[in-house]
Structure 1
Amino acid sequence: MTEQRYLADRFQEHRTHLKAVAYRMLGSLSEAEDAVQEAWLRLARSDDGAIDNLGGWLTTVVGRVCLDMLRSRRSRRETPLETRLPDPVVTDPAADPEHAALIADSVGLALLVVLESLTPAERLAFVLHDLFGLPFDEIAPIVDRTPAATRKLASRARGRVRASAPKPDPDRAAQRRAVDAFLSAAREGDFAALVSILDPDVVLRGDTGALPDVVVLRGRDAVAGQLETFHRMAAIAITRPALVNGTEGQLNFVDGELFSIMSFSVVDGRITEIDILSDAERLSTLDLTNLD
């Protein structure tokens, strides 16, 4: 076996983990793949004999690459939270290992949306420490801060996450009951039933790709006010239940084509967040082969 092949095989052992890190950092599957590829290129150019802990070294490299990508977004005055929803990871209960790793630890769309609102340094500190357990003294050089300052970055991010992304009900059966109740209310055009399943502070985000910003509706009255739209969609769509980032959701097909993906966050039996991706261009790039 050549040295390059041996190095490639060692890198491949870490690829799934690296993509999971990059996805949480970027909220984009294609950009996560780009970050992982860049880590491979840097490894191929390095003296691997001087690397004691390859997994840690690669995680640090991916963190740096993602940090640069996030800062580049900011420099272009892009605000991901306002311009697009994060890419969803759609699976069935028997997900393959790579998809399972991407959505482990309940990394739902609601959490990713909150992460999009953090500064790049806050996001990196939170993701690497809270989600992957890296110590602050290893994260600090990446963000060019002291370990104490890095700890504060993660603490601020953690506070934002706890305030804005409540943990969904872990019981998937309870999640599905709430989603089914929503769908039933939509099909029947039943306003009272719809209101009963929505949390008073429910948030709906819709990304069609046709507008410069994600459409955001806040509050039960505003979301329930879309009943006619939900009813029209229910009348023409064929739906398929699916897990979207580990929580209950559904795929909507119109005339045999994927029209939208819906993700639901359910807390204490009520729907707290609904995310709808109906951007045809982005939908066409998603890998749904694991559902076959």
Structure 2
Amino acid sequence: MRLRLVPQDTNWDFFKYRTATFGVSLVMMVASLALWLTMGLNFGIDFRGGTTIRTQSEQAVDVGVYRDAIAPLELGDVSISEVFDPSFAADQHVAMIRIQAQDAQESVSGDTIDSVEQALQGVDDTIRFTQVESVGPKVSGELIQTAVLAVAAALAAILFYIWLRFEWQFSVGAVAALFHDVLITIGVFSLLQIRFDLATIAALLTIIGYSINDTVVIFDRLRENLRKYKTKPLQDVMNLSVNETLSRTLMTSGTTLIALIALLVLGGDVIRGFVFAITWGVIIGTYSSVYVAKNIVLWLGVKRDWSKPSDTTGNQFANIDA
């Protein structure tokens, strides 16, 4: 007897309240846009500019001790990470310290760098600064433009792919769902003022990939069922398709969330923003695959005169016991 998270043959009406769920999505998108425009984002060093310091010491790097030593200086956003390299000697321990620009200055002043060095030498007298580099606002602005272009290019590529594989209605629904996921995630970051840096952009691209994967699985089953049930109403075929892939959806999302929640709790401050973005993205992406992408396809309608019968009875990954 196998354990199931959902019954084997479900018949839940996911589109019974489609107007309400679609309305909620629109409200969340408008609210996210308003938060973004009014509160802004808490940009990290990557987008705000600042100074990167490379340190070297004979003692092992302790990121927590370094951070506690620098904290009294109140320098704002400070990122500390240890650098590993097989070519390093046994007593060569290297760390990278990134400090945000202070008071709209292009870089951290020399006095501030001296204060940081003295604070770190208080916990490790062998530490020394081997390299100091500054990232100005011009470079940071270019990074923001590049990040926006990366997300836009991902959405455009997915739009083209879905258009070729399915119908244009499917591609519009899929990209609308992805845009919904990205915008609401940005709104949450703006509301909570979580640090927004290049790692967050990587998380947004990961969300896009995860969400479109779930959407395509349901689209695949929907296309097969449309060929199988040529006279059945579109809404009923959609409900059938979502129910048939429900086990797969819950299994994939559930196991992913278990790993992400563990990282969110135990991963530390350095990766917390990145992990939070992906965790939220898995939840909102699973929701949008049904209540945004499928709602738009249902509203636009699809062609029903399929010329060829389906070669398969279903996607091999759609009926996983969960």
On whether the aligned pair clears a TM of 0.5, the verdict is: no
TM (norm. structure 1) is 0.23
TM (norm. structure 2) is 0.22
Tell me which protein shows more strand as a share of its residues. Answer: 1
Q: Which entry has the higher C-alpha Rg, 1 or 2? A: 2
